[in-house]
Structure formats: structure tokens, C-alpha cells
């Protein structure tokens, strides 16, 4: 069993992590032993967690959420699935429009 969690630091920033012992890990963060990011921004508050049967699944989810924007993390924390989907679509549109632009410029520069 494993968890992914999001902490809100005193400066309002978010820290995303994963662990097999959530209570112990939170205690470590509060003692300044968790991570450099949280150690400099104490105290921290747990604002979100998800449970996973497999450690690898929690770790993969942690990496996914770490790559998200602040707005998308806030939507997850609030449980706003509509906003999560909307933000994901915006990100996909940006990604696909970049790919299309790159493809068009490559075609123009082709001999």
C-alpha cells in the first residue's frame, strides 16, 4: 500500500510526494527532514492524498501530478473533476498546436 500526497507550505507553494507510511512522512516533513522544498517552508499542511495498492502506481501518479500546473493541482485538491478535464484539454490543445506548428515549419523548410 502506498500514498500520493500534496502538502501546502507556509508560503502557499505545493509539494507532491509519495510514501508507504503517510503519518511518518508527514511527521518528517514537519520536522524539516522531508525534503529541501518543505524544510524551508514550514509548517506544511496535508491538503490531498490518494491511496494505491501498489507502490509503483503511487510513484507514477506522483510524477504525473508533479508535472501539473498550480491550477490543475488546485482542481485536484478541490475535487473539481470538471476543471481538471478542462485544464487537461487546454494543455492538450497547446501541445497539439505546437506539434502542428512544428510540422508545418518543417514542411516549409523541406527541400
Give the DSSP H/E element, type plus range, for residue 93: helix 81-109
Instruction: Please state, in angstroms and as integers, the Cα–Cα distance from residue 70 to each residue in 57, 84, 87, following that order.
Output: 22, 11, 11
Q: What is the pLDDT of residues 69-91, one digit of tens each?
A: 999 999 999 988 877 778 776 55
* DSSP conformation class of 50: E
Q: What's the pLDDT tens digit per position in 27-45? A: 999 999 978 999 999 999 9
Domain 1-67 homologous superfamily, CATH: GIY-YIG endonuclease (3.40.1440.10)
Measure the CA–CA gap between 76 and 14, rounded to whole angstroms: 12
Give the helix/strand (H/E) hosting 55: helix 55-66
pTM: 0.77
- Quick check: 101 pLDDT over 60? no
Q: Where exactly are the structural domains of the chain?
A: 1-67, 69-111
Amino acid at each position: 500500500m502506498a500514498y500520493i500526497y500534496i502538502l501546502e507550505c507556509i508560503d502557499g507553494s505545493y509539494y507532491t510526494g509519495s510514501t508507504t507510511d503517510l503519518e511518518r512522512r508527514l511527521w518528517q516533513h514537519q520536522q524539516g527532514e522531508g525534503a529541501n522544498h518543505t524544510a524551508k517552508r514550514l509548517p506544511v499542511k496535508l491538503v490531498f492524498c490518494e491511496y494505491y495498492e501498489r507502490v509503483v502506481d503511487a510513484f507514477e501518479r506522483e510524477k504525473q501530478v508533479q508535472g501539473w500546473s498550480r491550477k490543475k493541482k488546485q482542481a485536484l485538491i478541490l475535487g473539481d473533476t470538471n476543471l481538471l478535464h478542462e485544464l487537461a484539454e487546454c494543455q492538450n490543445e497547446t501541445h497539439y498546436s505546437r506539434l502542428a506548428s512544428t510540422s508545418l515549419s518543417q514542411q516549409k523548410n523541406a527541400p
